Amino acid sequence: MPTILLVDGFRFFFYSREEERMHIHVEYQGKVAKIWLDTFEIAENYGFKNFQLNYLQAIARKNEKRLKKAWIAYFG
């Protein structure tokens, strides 16, 4: 589970490839979300409030190239 990005305590990371579609997981204080990297939609949410999800989506969009590059480097 490599950490790709750490912003304000939010950890953006990958699990081992559980599916083909490019995505990132985010963890913060026991909460977890999954964001699709092609649309930046929330795929799963376990505990985050809407304003936090909006913030996470903005971070993912801002770091799109970095996250996608890391995905390709990690999964091939």
Q: pLDDT for 12-71, tens place per residue?
A: 999 877 788 999 999 999 999 999 999 999 999 999 999 999 999 999 999 999 999 999
What are the backbone dihedrals phi and psi of residue 32, each rounded to the nearest 5 degrees, phi first?
-140, 140
Q: Is 0.85 topped by the overall pTM?
A: yes
Q: H or E stretch including 45?
A: strand 42-46
In this structure, what token pair is assigned to residue 58? Answer: 């903005």
Q: H or E stretch including 26?
A: strand 23-28
How many other C-beta atoms lie within 10 A of the C-beta of residue 63? Answer: 18
pLDDT at residue 19 in the model: 85
pLDDT at residue 22 in the model: 95
